[in-house]
Amino acid sequence: MGHAQCGVLILPRYAMQDHPHLFEATLDSQEILRSHFLQVVCDTVRLPDGKTATRDYIVHPGAVMVVPLLDTPDGLRVVLERQYRYPVRQAMVEFPAGKLDKGEDTLVCGMRELLEETGYTAAEWAHAGVIHPCISYSTEFIDVWFARGLQLGTRRLDEGEFLDVFTASPAELLRWCCTGKVTDAKTLSGALWLQNVLSGAWTLDWQPVAQVGGAG
């Protein structure tokens, strides 16, 4: 599924080129519901065998997750949040994250969310990749950024936003993923990235803020 920008679904370049025997062509699209945040759509599609079917899905503006690496006298730690998520009725342990504003660059979004939610700014950033957390019913994508060289300032929570900020060692985070204390999909993905980066299996292209995407 492609990225959603300004309420329009943008298909990736490979959508109609790779695996054409699996491709579903859009015949009609009907908006079912629109809120200030999300849009529910029902599309009629042509299946690979020529028959038709409907696809209900949520159009999402996209989001960014930050994996903040904090150097301390006791070793490396990661900055995490604990936030109540109403749909699942529980407080969740998560990496800092937030949705993209209209037309916003993903790095700019990551920098903004990190500062607003945790109070931290970072001297260096590295783009890790992208995840699609709910491919069967949403266009949502989450860009993943790593941040290091953290400096603590004052956080700027949005009105009506309540969350705790704390740190954990990578080992603690991985243990929580194993035991079920962490079940948030994006944070589980971030933990996988973190584990591979720290082991040297995956590499990141770290760049100072002034050189990354012209943000600042």
Q: Which of 183, 189, 123, 118 is nearest to 150 (CA)?
A: 123
Strand partners, 4: 9
pLDDT score for 139: 93
C-beta of residue 157 within 8 angstroms of C-beta of residue 73: no
Report the SS3 class of residue 117. Answer: helix
Threshold 0.85, pTM exceeds:
yes
Asked, for residue 215, whether it belongs to a domain, the answer is no
Q: What is the model's pLDDT at position 18?
A: 76
Residue 205 domain flag: no
Please tell me the distance from the alpha carbon of residue 40 to that of residue 57, in angstroms, as a whole number. 6
In a domain, 213, yes or no: no
Contact indicator for 107, 212 with CB cutoff of 8 Å: yes
Question: In the prediction, which pLDDT does 182 show?
Answer: 97
What residues have CB less than 8 Å from 126, skipping those under 6 apart?
Answer: 145, 146, 147, 204, 205, 206, 207
Q: Are residues 142 and 184 in the same domain?
A: yes
Total domains in the chain come to 2
The residue range of the domain holding 52 is: 3-59
Q: Is 55 in the same domain as 67?
A: no
Q: Which residues of the chain have pLDDT under 70?
A: 1-17, 211-216
* pLDDT for position 199: 96
Residue 216 lies in a domain: no
- CATH number, domain with residue 131: 3.90.79.10
Residues 4 and 60 sit within 8 Å (Cβ to Cβ): yes
